[in-house]
Amino acid sequence: MEGAARTAAALLIGNELLSGKVHESNLVELARTLRSLGVALRRVVMLPDEMDAIAAEVRALSDTHDVVFTSGGVGPTHDDITLEAVAPEGAELVSHAEARWPTVVMKNVWVLPGVPEAFRMKLGVVRAKVRGASRFVTREVITKMDEPDLKPLLDRIVAAHPDVEIGSYPKWFDPRYKTKVTFDGTDEQKVVAAREDFVAQLPEGEPQTDL
């Protein structure tokens, strides 16, 4: 990786994910890692163990994002075809005698294992090697107001703070709150200002707090 990465994509590979046999668990770890590095994960694709589909997708994602991470399909058996699918792109496969599978970074594509324990280990390497372009700042507010009742206020806040990404997440069965509102951006002052503006306009007595 040269320079700072602004955007990322992920390709999650495996029949077992699409059949529901396995609950995919690597993505959220990757997403949090990238977030903390200041890299925006823009697109995730999940595909079965099929050479042509994987090769085409890796090429498309690599062309349109600064960095790409694949997960899965790097074991030794017949259904582990990610390395072969990536290789036509001009990859060099770097093997280590002491490891049962190699770590490959080909152009801007990181080929990571699907086994969650192994995936998490490799994220340490990602943290050490990938530099993000900007740090994200996040603030949250929870309230017991329903999302539909919040909508007029939210619309005003969104319009008044164009550089802050504002999210609204209803919770159905949580006794602590009904809606979580999030404020995200790269400028901490602007993020904090949007949050304060929102809190100041909540109805008086409306319980709100950081989670």
Residues 45-74 contacting a copy of itself, CB under 8 A: 45-49, 53
Torsions phi, psi for 88 (to 5 deg) = -55, -20
Stretch (H or E) spanning 112: strand 109-112
Q: Which residues contact 43 (CB under 8 A, 6 or more apart)?
A: 9, 10, 61, 65
HEC profile for 148-161?
HHHHHHHHHHHHHC
Here's the x/- map for a copy of itself, 190-209, by CB under 8 A: it reads as --------------------
Q: Which stretch binds a copy of itself (CB under 8 A): 90-98, 123-131, 142-150, 199-207?
A: 142-150
Q: CB-wise, 95 or 168, nearer to a copy of itself?
A: 168
| By CB under 8 A, residue 78 contacts a copy of itself | yes
Among residues 37, 112, 164, 166, the one that binds a copy of itself under rule CB under 8 A: 166
Coil, strand, or helix at residue 188?
A: helix
3-state DSSP assignment of residue 50: coil
Strands 179-185 and 137-143: what pairing? antiparallel
**C-alpha–C-alpha distance, residues 207 and 20, integer Å:** 40
CB 41 within 8 A of CB 49: no
Q: Does 15 bind a copy of itself (CB under 8 A)?
A: yes
Tokens of 65: 């994002």
Question: Which residue's CB is nearer to a copy of itself, number 2 or number 6?
Answer: 6
- Least Å from the CB of residue 42 to a copy of itself: 7
- Listed ranges 89-97, 126-134, 145-153, 198-206: which one lies at the site for a copy of itself (CB under 8 A): 145-153
Interface positions with a copy of itself (CB under 8 A): 12, 15-24, 27-35, 40-49, 53, 75-79, 100, 115, 117-118, 136, 138, 147-148, 150-151, 154-155, 158, 165-173, 182, 184
